[in-house]
Structure 1
Amino acid sequence: MDTQLGLKFKKESLAIKARELIRACVHCGYCNASCPTYQLLGDELDGPRGRIYLIKSLLEDKTSAEKVKLHLDRCLLCQGCETSCPSSVQFGKLAIIGKEIIEQSVQRSFLERLLLNFFLHFITDRKKFYYLFKFGSSIRALLPDMLRRKLPQVSKEDTILRRDWERKDWGGNPRQMILFKGCVEQVIYPSVLNSARRLFRRVGIELIDVAEEGCCGALAYHLPNRKKALSQMKNNIDVWIAHLKKGMGGIIVCSSACCQMIKEYGDILKDDKQYNHKALQISRMTFDPVEILEKEDIHSLLNAPRLEPVAYHSPCTEQHGLKEKGRVEAFLSRLGIKLTSIPDSHMCCGAAGMYAVMQKELSQRILELKMKNILGGKPAVILTSNVGCRLQLQQLSPVPVLHWLEYIEKISQPAAAQ
């Protein structure tokens, strides 16, 4: 699909990149079948094909930025359309570019700007978010019902401000790996990181904590706020490279959204002469836990087969972003875990970063459909691998929602220890 750039976009680098991405689209429409918003709303402009046409029209000066903003804001950036696209259109990249162009053209409302700045400055900073979370938990009874449902209980494994896990005597051992803690997961679900440390130790791998790392940059990058995102990415690269040079085996990232973002550092910074090689090295040495554990002797993790039915929700970032659909499920099955079947398992749960806040009604409708499909198999527990999905699913789930690492550790412990 060719795009004739309008006069004001002729020399705009973002517009030129968008034109190249649009060119791959053949307008077949296969993408609409895997788009949650198109399936829900039935509007061509709320499907990938329609959004591509909107961006194309914007670049050709045929459509207002306000109209494009409306429909791009409704996009979950789940990338389900990429998985089903026969032409390999990189819709995720195109949508981000479209958002960047719109941010330069359209003034958001005061409330939108307030929310965006709040998320950028409080959620992605661990200490600020920690105190905010503790304060919110202390006034839970006063919060609106929607916020109460979204706010999880304070973990009993509250370790955000402890430093006794830091190690200073790292050697050049490839069986040592950095554990990325992120910003939200470490505060809300520290049990995930602790489970990762214990499970990896059982297969002979020590996970090391690095205090200087920060947010992976995903939230800022998708808003989009490229300047802040690149700053966060470069900070992490500088910190990790210094440790990886000692011979450590790589970086373990438990949350699939963060894992996808870090694996994309090399592509995002490919034109940065100072960081391109370092970013590529970081991307190549970043691993989802299953990439490592599936190659290990998992005898120490095995236990008697579990008879209780378990549902595994594969996040969009895992199956569409990381292209690892079925990988965790296969590993869980090897451990004797009985997985239920989930209809339309490729569909998003409606979390999508800030989407659940900025598009509350759509997010909730998408969640209701997802939960209906998950609960149809009558699972005793729901597993996932992304902190955002977990927060989203637990709103309506009558059964526990856990990270799969937590569940494996729980069921593989001796009965007396559980």
Structure 2
Amino acid sequence: MQTNLADFLRNTPEGEEAKSIVGNCVHCGFCTATCPTYQLLGDELDGPRGRIYLMKQVLEGHAITESTRLHLDRCLTCRNCESTCPSGVRYGRLVDIGRKLVDDKLEAEGVQRPARERIARWVLREGLTRPALFGTALRLGQMVRPLLPGTLRNKVPALSSTAAPGTWPRNAHARKMLLLDGCVQPAMSPNINAATARVFDRVGVQLLVAREAGCCGAIRFHTGDHDGGLDNMRRNIDAWWPHIEDGAEAIVMTASGCGAMVKDYGHLLRNDPKYAERARRVSALTRDLSEVLPDFADELHTLAGAVPRDNRRVAYHPPCTLQHGQQIRGKVEALLTGLGVEVKLCADSHLCCGSAGTYSVLQPELAYRLRDDKLAKLQATQPEAIVSANIGCIAHLQGGTGTPVMHWIELVDKMLG
């Protein structure tokens, strides 16, 4: 698709990158078949092909309207279209650039978002990315949970449902890997990282947490605050670098949303002379949990065999950030099956559950329609529990069902006693 960049974008990194991405699109429309919002709304402009057309107009300097922003806002950035696209269009990167351009252009013309939206976005950027602040806010929310509006109450887990983290192993091992603690996960589900550390300890790997590391940058970056997101990335690189120099083998991610972001550091900081090389190294070292543990499958099988099994039947929901963002499929299912768990994928398992980071807060109507459809299909497998690999999906799904929803590593931890 031919694109003639407007003067304000010509010879800029973002403009040239977006032009290259749009140029790969052949407008075949295969993406519409797997786009959740297109399936819900039936509007061409609420599918990837239509949104690419809108962003092409933005790149060429055509007039931008609030309708343009609305259609881009409705995108989940699930990147299912990337898995479907025969031409390799990097749609997720394009929509990040497009949203920022649209917001900046409209703001320059004095067309601001409604005050309620601006406040919500500010709260998400400033609240979710600060673990201490978020933890305090969450505890307060849990205390008054029955009084909260329904959409917010669904996001605040009941006090009784927040699993205690258990013990963090203190054994020293020759093999060491880094673990990103995350923003909301330590408060919402503190047992995930502790369970991960216990499992790794059992196979002879010590997990280290660099306390100076914080938000991966996804929340700010995907809501248009690119500068703030890049600052988050640089801080994490600085925090991890001494451990990398000391021989840390990998940076392990227990939240697939964070993993997809950190694996992109090398690209996003490629033009930063101070951080480009280190960012590439960090991205190369980053592994989702499901990429690391299969290397220890034999040890895990032996350890699980020493503990009575409960022959649990679970439904697995693969997050979009894992199956489409990182293109990782089948690893979790294979690992759990090898440990004696009966694992079921639901119908349309490739489709988004509606969580999508901040999407379920900013676009609740569409998010809950997607969630309810996903839960109906998951429940059709008659599971004893639902497992996933991303805290956002776990919290979003748990808000709509009484069936336990957990991270799959917590199940492995229980199986090892």
TM-score by length of 2: 0.93
Contact 1:342 1:377 in 2 (8 A): yes
1:345-384 correspondence runs (5 A): 345-384=349-388
1:296-311 correspondence runs (5 A): 296=296, 297-298=299-300, 299-302=302-305, 306-311=310-315
Q: Which residue of 1 aligns with 2:30?
A: 30
1:317-396 correspondence runs (5 A): 317-396=321-400
> Structure 1: which amino acid aligns with 2:164?
E
* Secondary structure in structure 2 of the residue aligned to 1:177: strand
Q: Which residue of 2 aligns with 1:130?
A: 135
Q: Distance in 1 between matches of 2:309 and 2:10?
A: 62
Contact 2:266 2:281 in 1 (8 A): yes
Q: Which residue of 1 aligns with 2:177?
A: 177
Residue 392 of structure 1 and its aligned partner are, at CA, apart by 0.8
* Secondary structure in structure 1 of the residue aligned to 2:311: strand
Q: Detail structure 1 runs of 4+ shifted over 4 Å in the superposition.
A: 164-167, 302-306
The superposition leaves residues 301-338 of structure 1 with CA deviations (integer Å, 9 ceiling, x where unpaired) of: 34566534210000000000111011111111111111
The superposition leaves residues 72-109 of structure 1 with CA deviations (integer Å, 9 ceiling, x where unpaired) of: 00000000000000000000000000011012112222
Q: Distance in 2 between matches of 1:249 and 1:15?
A: 36
Gaps of 5+ in 2: 107-111
Gaps of 5+ in 1: 414-418
TM-score by length of 1: 0.93
* Secondary structure in structure 2 of the residue aligned to 1:307: coil
Q: Which residue of 2 aligns with 1:113?
A: 118
1:290 correspondence with 2:290: yes
Q: 1:306–1:410: structure 2 CA closer, same or farther, 3 Å change rule?
A: same
The superposition leaves residues 118-169 of structure 1 with CA deviations (integer Å, 9 ceiling, x where unpaired) of: 111111101111111111111112211222222113435269xxxx9698x9
> Structure 2: which amino acid aligns with 1:179?
L
Q: Distance in 2 between matches of 1:62 and 1:249?
A: 48
Q: Distance in 2 between matches of 1:337 and 1:375?
A: 17
Contact 1:54 1:63 in 2 (8 A): no
* Secondary structure in structure 1 of the residue aligned to 2:105: coil
* Secondary structure in structure 1 of the residue aligned to 2:27: coil
1:205-354 correspondence runs (5 A): 205-296=205-296, 297-298=299-300, 299-302=302-305, 306-354=310-358
> Structure 2: which amino acid aligns with 1:282?
V
Identity of aligned residues (%): 39
Corresponding residue pairs, total: 406
Q: Which residue of 2 aligns with 1:58?
A: 58
* Secondary structure in structure 2 of the residue aligned to 1:252: strand
1:75 correspondence with 2:75: yes
Contact 1:217 1:233 in 2 (8 A): yes
Q: Distance in 2 between matches of 1:98 and 1:284?
A: 27
Moved more, 148-157 or 83-92: 148-157
Q: Distance in 2 between matches of 1:379 and 1:186?
A: 26
Q: 1:403–1:209: structure 2 CA closer, same or farther, 3 Å change rule?
A: same
Q: Which residue of 2 aligns with 1:416?
A: none
Pick one of 147, 153, 159 that aligns with 2:152. Answer: 147
Q: 1:276–1:9: structure 2 CA closer, same or farther, 3 Å change rule?
A: closer
* Secondary structure in structure 2 of the residue aligned to 1:176: strand
Q: 1:209–1:63: structure 2 CA closer, same or farther, 3 Å change rule?
A: same
